[in-house]
Chains A and B, each alone.
Chain A
Amino acid sequence: MSDVNYTQPDGEESFAKAAGKQLLGFGLATVVFFGLLMWGLQTLASMVGSSTVSAKAVDAENQSITIAIATEPPQMDSTLATDASSGMILGHVMEGLLRNSMDDKIEAAIAERWEINATQATFWLRDDARWSDGEPITAHDFVFAWRSALKPENASEYAFLLYPIKNGRAVNEGDLPYTELGVRAVDDQTLVVDLERPIAFFDKLVAFPTYLPIREDFYNATNGRFGADAWEMLYSGPFMITSWVHGSSLLLERNPYYWDQDSISLQQINIGYITSDGTAKLNFFKDNKIAFTTLLAENLTNAMAQRWHIERTQDGTVFFLDFNHRPDHVTSNRNLRKALQLVLDMEELVYKVTKLPGYIPGESLFPTWLQGVEDKFRKEYPAPELILDRDEALRHLELAKQELGIDEIPELILLSGDNPLSSLQSEWVQEVLRTKLGISVKIDKQIFKQRLAKMTAGEFDMVLAGWGPDYDDPLTFGDLYASWNKNNRGLYNNPEMDRLIEQAQNSVVPRERMETFAAIQQLLFDDVAQLPMYERGVTFVIHPHLKNVKQRVIGASTDFTRAYIDTTAY
C-alpha cells in the first residue's frame, strides 16, 4: 500500500459537513440546470411560434387586440344563428341594411336611406357597399337571405322575427311558396318590403342578425357548408374571419372592401381563447393576454386591488314575482297583492340577499336599458315611486281578508327554480311575508321545464319568473300581460291592459307608443299585476387603452367594431 496519509474524518460531524457540502453542490447544479433549461425552452418557443407567443391584449403597433369568448359558435349562417357567440362575431364581420349605433340608435349601414310607412318599407342601398371578394352588395342578396331564413326546411329558430314581412308566417309554416314573401328587389340598389301590418319598430328588427344579407351564388357554391368555416363565408362587415381554428381560436382582420373604413381603427381582432371559465379569463386579463373580461362576484376585491376600471351593464333579462290571477287563488285579490308590494323591499333583496354587483333592484317591468323616444325609456317615463309602508300593507291585508271573506290568508305556494340563487330569493320572500304580514309561504322548487308546466297549469300562487327581450322595443315586455299572450301564465286579464297593448301594437307614432307603454307601466304598478324584482347585470373590465367598446343588450355584444387604441389613457 502507498504511504499516503489519509486524513481520517473525525466521526459523524465532519461526515455531516461533507454531506451538506455535497448536497449544496447538487442543489446549486440543479438550480442552474433548470434555469438554463427554462431559458433554452423559452428561446426555442419564441423562435418556433412567434405569432402565438406575441399576442398581447392590446397591441398599438399593429392595431390589434386579443379577446376571449365563452363558447365557439356552432356555425355562422346568419339565418340560423341564435347563440351569443355567433351573434357577437356576426356583428363584427357582417353588416345589414341598418345597424345599431354607438348610442343605441338605428343608423344607416348598407342602406343609404330608408323609408318605412304603414304598408311598405323601402331601402336604398349605397353603391359602394362591397362583399369581401369585391363584388357589390345588392338588394337581391337580402331577398335571398330573408327567403332562406323563412324556408320551413331550414327551421330557423328566429324566423318569427321576419313575420312582420307580408306572408312571412305563411311562408315559414309552409302554406305559401317562398316566392310569395313580401320582399322584392326593384333594382340592384332598391329593396321594397311589404308589411303584414303597421309596425313601429321594423327598423330595429332590420338591424337584427337574422336580417343580414347572403349572396346566392356563394351560398350555393358552399354545398350546404355555408358559415361552417372561415372560407365558407362572405363578409359584408368591417372585419372578416381569416382564420378559424375550431375549438381554439378565430382571427378577424380588417375587410378591405368595407364601405365605412373611416369609422374603423382596429386592424385585427384576435379571439385567442375560447373558455367559459371566469377565473381563467381573469388570469388572462391580469397577464395582459386579453383586453376584456367579465368579473365574478368573488373576483371583485381582486379587481379593485389591481386598480382596474370596473364597469357594469345589464344582460337584458328582467326578473319578477308573478301572481296567479285565476279567481280561485287568493292572489287574484288586488289588496293582497298590494300588501305584498308594500313590504317586499327589492333593494334589500338585491343588496343584502343576493349581493351580486351589477344587479339593479327592479322598479318596473320595463328595464332601464330600453330605448324610448329620444333617451332611455325609463328616463323619459320613470317608474312609479313605491314607498314601502308596513302599516299601509297591514291595512290592505285586512281589506283583502274582508273581501275574500276569510279570517286567515291560507298558505301561499311560491313556485321557484331549483338553483341556489332562486332558493335564496324564495326563502327571502318567505321570511319577509312571515315576519311582516304573518303570511306563511310554501316553496315549491322545480326544474325549469316542470316550473313552466306548473305555471301553465296554474298550480301556484306566486312564481319567481324572468323574461329576456327578443328585440329592442318596449313591446317585447309590454305585451306580456295581454290576455291573449301565452306567456301570461298567471292569466292576468284586464280589459284596460288589453286596450293599451293593442294601442301600442297598432300605433306607429313613437311618442304615442311610449306614452302607452308608460300607461302600461303605471297600470302594472297600480294593479300589482306583478312585482319587479331585479334586472340581471354583469360587471366587467376592459383594458384601459382600449376605448369605445360597446356593450349591447340586443345584437352583437361585446362590440369591438368601433373600438380604438389610446395608449395615453389610464
Chain B
Amino acid sequence: MIRWLVAGIIFGSLVFLASPVQANHYVYLASEANAAGFSQYTWVNNRWAMGAQSHNWCSGFTSTPQGILNALAEWENAVQSSFGPEFVAGCGPSQTFLFLPASAGSIPCPGYVGCLDVSNWGYDSGRQAYYIVTANIWFNTTQYSFTDAGYRYTTGHELGHAYGLHERYLHPPPSIRCNPDENSIMDTATFSGTTVTGGCDGYNLYPDDKTRATLLYDLSPAQNVATYKTGTNSMSQFWDDVNWAESGYQLYFYYWSPSAYSWVQFFSGLHYAGVGPGDPDLPVRLSSGYSKPLYMPSTDYIICGYTHSTARGYLHWVCGQSKFLGGEV
C-alpha cells in the first residue's frame, strides 16, 4: 500500500489514469485490507498449524461435476509439491471446502456466476493473522449453466482465492474483461450467453498461479542480518522476515568455549512477529538480543537460527556475527 501511494505521488495523474484499467488488483488478497479492516492472509486450515495432512472437501451436488474434480486435482498437485496436503473427500466438521449448486440453499451471490464464501475465519495470535477454516464455493446453477470447462475454471479460480490470490482481470468500470498481459486462472470467465465456458486463459493453472500461491507457504532465510554490541555484556541482532505463513525463527544462542574448542548452546527459543497488521509487501524487521549475566563466561557469543514452520519444518540455518561479551578484548 505504501509503495503504491509513493508511486501515486511520483507519477501523479499517470497512476490515476492507469488505475481504473488495472483496478488496483494486487497479486495477493493479503496486500489490502477488506471492508472489515483486516488483511486476508488466506492460508487454508489444517496445513496452517494444525499439522493435519489433508484438506477435506465435500460436495452438495448430487453428482459432482468432473470439472470440479479436475480442478481439485490440479490444485492438489500444485500445493502438495510445496507443503504437502492431500485433498480428501469427506463431509463433516473438519471439511475445509464445500462445493454447492445454487439449488442447495440461499446462494450469497445472486446474479454472479459463483462465489467463494469464507464462512469461518480463524485467528493466529502469534502471527496476528487470519486464515480460512471453512469456505463454501457456490455455483450459480439457477441463473447460469456451466460446461465442464466452466466448472473447472470456476473451481480453479475460487480455490485460487482460498489460497490467497487476488483477481487478475482488468476492471475498467463498469465492466470486467480479460487481461491480455496475464496467463492466469485468476483472469475472468468466458461466456456463451449465460453459459460459463471457461476462463480467458483456459481452465488450467498457469505457472504464475502455482508460483504465487506456493510463495505464501515457502520459507526463506532471515535476510539482512545485522549484529551489534550494545554494551559491555549485551548484544542485539536484527533481521528481515520476508516469510508469509505460520512461520517463525527457532533461535539458538551459543558461547565459545576455548577449553572445549567448540560453540556451546545455552538457550533456544521460537521467535516470530505479527504479520497481520503490516504491509505484506514489506518485510517485518525482527530483533533478538542477549545480556550476559555475571556467572556466564567472558567470551564470544553468537545467535543463529532456522526459519521454521509446522508445515515445512526447519530450513535455512543463518548465523549473525559473533560478539565478545564481558569486556573488551
Mutual binders A and B: no
